[in-house]
Structure 1
Amino acid sequence: MKKVIKGYSYTFSAENQPAAYAASGETLTFETLDCFSGLINSATDLTCDFNYNSANPATGPVYVENAEPGDLLMVEILDIRTVAAGVVTTIPGCGPLHETQEHRTKPLQIINGMVQFNGMAFPADPMVGVIGVAPADQPVPCGFPGAHGGNMDCKKIRKGTTLYFPVQVVGALFALGDLHAVMGDGELCGTGLEIAGEVDVKLTLLQGNGERWPVLETSDSWFAIANAAEYPAALKSASEQIQTLISQAYGWDLTDTYLYMSLQSDVEICQACKPCPVDLIVRVSAPKLNNIPLITRKAK
């Protein structure tokens, strides 16, 4: 019988009571609300009337047995299933074009895997917007990112990918939510196709190696994900993390690694709907070459 996780929290916090407990290697199903907690559904429901204390609920947290600070939590995204309808909205004061836009909520249907928009249809590509572990210091609202993960809004966090989170508190306290049926890099107006659904994940506890930021593994690349109020600081943090991983894995010094990154690493934006109180989020990649993993899966 699969273990289904229910119950929601609006912060990533070491003080949150676990919604469930899991052993390393266990597979779980998370039932999620949309980012508006199911309160915005029709064209008459506008975000200017929304209480953002109810934004971005994360299902969980799950206490991972034997997880301790310094460990690494590997999270494999096995499947994402969304409901058949969601909304995309403008948010007051959010995004580069906010001054000229109306307050608008647009409900959209998904039919046979295709998002329906003004007579057009394009493929749904479900992703997880909020995912992570509890931070060691003060609680972080689920709408914000950090070294613990949180609202990273990275469209590559989809079925078949794997994330690695540095564990910061005993039990890790892992949670996820904020599904998008589809979203463009940058999330320009502040929302994707916000939608409810279910996510199947496998949680495995690994030996950490000093990782500071979340790392994403896809079929062909590795990515370090970092955030800051301004682009240069976010870029530096993500670049330093991927540089460290490449240097350790390949046995190169930092300067050779830096040169290699200029040839092979791509810098991509996850979220940049400025102006916005949420940090800008970037990812910096490294291609998979020569079957050398940047993170070795050493079970704890």
Structure 2
Amino acid sequence: MSWLENSYMARKGMARGNSGETHQLNGEKQGKYHYVYGPYAEPVLTVKPGDVVVAETQDAFEGAIKTESDSPSEILHMPFLNPQCGPIEVEGAEKGDVLCVHIHSIKPRGPQPVGTTALITEFGGLVGTTNTALLNKPLPEKVKKMEVTEAGVKFNDRVTLPYEPFIGTLGVSPEIEAVSSLQPDYWGGNMDLPDVAPGAIAYFPVHHKGAYLYLGDCHARQGDGELCGVAVEIPSTTTVQVDLIKGWSIAWPRLENEEFIMSIGSSRPMEDAARIAYRELLRWLCADYGYDEAEAYFLLTQAGRVRLGNMVDPKYTLGASILKRYLM
């Protein structure tokens, strides 16, 4: 039995991991991309559990930064960053359910050099920001363009980095709020977590009828923390499969792949994000793997792992995980 056949999606999902109809969500079908997660936009697609969506995502700047001579502060209009495909309505989804998103593939799209990173005024992990106000002058703005193919990311003439794509911003609508696509929280959003990658299944608590799935901000790769605040941003053709789990109550996003299960927390300060992620993982072990609280606490102390998604967004994101081989 493959790990997918034994995944939560396959065991508990309404479609049991079986694929349904395939839907194309190109730029024409999407129309206006969204910069807000919320319940107030009309769905661009309605799908059933098991259905597959092939979405054309824009890069984080909706293609506005075209050359290395461009000035981000002159071109970009904050907070209109991270354009999102969607919302995608999932039939039968209700508050208290869990939406499953199995990421099949992420492929770069558009003319080369398709990858963009940048230094942006008052944004990044090692500079003064509006939240961390310092008297130091901002770093000079700088744009770097890179060729990106599935064979690799050409960082410069000496270094080609592996192509390790993931969805930077993925999640569902909150129940009542309309929130920026730059913000991560209990609905998912701008988590910038490299494990949200092809092969993984992400799980989100449903808060609004139809779930209203949003996705965008795909990255060709990123180091832990997204240090300067901008990964290798790419437009993409991203393929995901959705499913729906009834009667599985979770408070924060979760993820599984072949090797581990992970709980995801977003907050400031960073240690609170870690606490959220580890607490939710501990509760997962107690609910589904036969541990009492103390034994789960001991196990995670000795075998838990933390992945830093971002240390630059309005809230920081961390994923706490444990290898599946310890849960047999």
The partner residue of 1:2 within 3, 22, 39 is 22
Aligned equivalents of 2:268, 2:149: Cα separation in 1:
38
Task: Specify every segment of 5 or more residues in structure 2 that has no aligned partner in the other structure, as ranges.
Answer: 1-20, 128-136
Question: Is 1:15 equivalent to 2:15 in the alignment?
Answer: no
The code of the aligned residue for 2:108 comes to T
Is this contact kept in 1: 2:121–2:138, CA < 8 A?
Answer: no
The code of the aligned residue for 1:18 comes to P
SS class of match (1:195): coil
Aligned equivalents of 2:95, 2:252: Cα separation in 1:
14
Q: 1:108 maps to what in 2? A: 146
Aligned equivalents of 1:184, 1:27: Cα separation in 2:
29
The partner residue of 2:79 within 53, 75, 78 is 53
Q: 1:298 maps to what in 2? A: none
Larger strand fraction of residues: 1
The code of the aligned residue for 1:169 comes to H
Is this contact kept in 1: 2:95–2:209, CA < 8 A?
Answer: yes
Distance 1:111 1:74, change over 3 A: closer
Question: Is 1:200 equivalent to 2:223 in the alignment?
Answer: no
Shift of 1:212: 0.4
> What do the CA deviations read for 1:62-104 (whole angstroms, capped 9, x no partner)?
0000100000111100111112412100121122333573200
Q: 1:235 maps to what in 2? A: 274
Number of residues of Structure 1 aligned to a counterpart in Structure 2: 289
SS class of match (2:61): coil
TM-score of the two chains, using structure 2 as the length reference: 0.84
Question: Is 1:90 equivalent to 2:115 in the alignment?
Answer: no
Aligned equivalents of 1:283, 1:70: Cα separation in 2:
22
CA-based RMSD = 1.6
Shift of 1:224: 0.7
Shift of 1:290: 6.5
SS class of match (1:153): coil
> What do the CA deviations read for 1:170-218 (whole angstroms, capped 9, x no partner)?
0000010001111111000000011101111110011242200000111
Is this contact kept in 2: 1:166–1:208, CA < 8 A?
Answer: no
Percent identical across equivalent pairs?
29
TM-score of the two chains, using structure 1 as the length reference: 0.92
Question: Is 1:285 equivalent to 2:314 in the alignment?
Answer: no
Question: Is 1:143 equivalent to 2:182 in the alignment?
Answer: yes
Q: 1:297 maps to what in 2? A: none
Is this contact kept in 2: 1:41–1:86, CA < 8 A?
Answer: no
Is this contact kept in 2: 1:37–1:54, CA < 8 A?
Answer: no
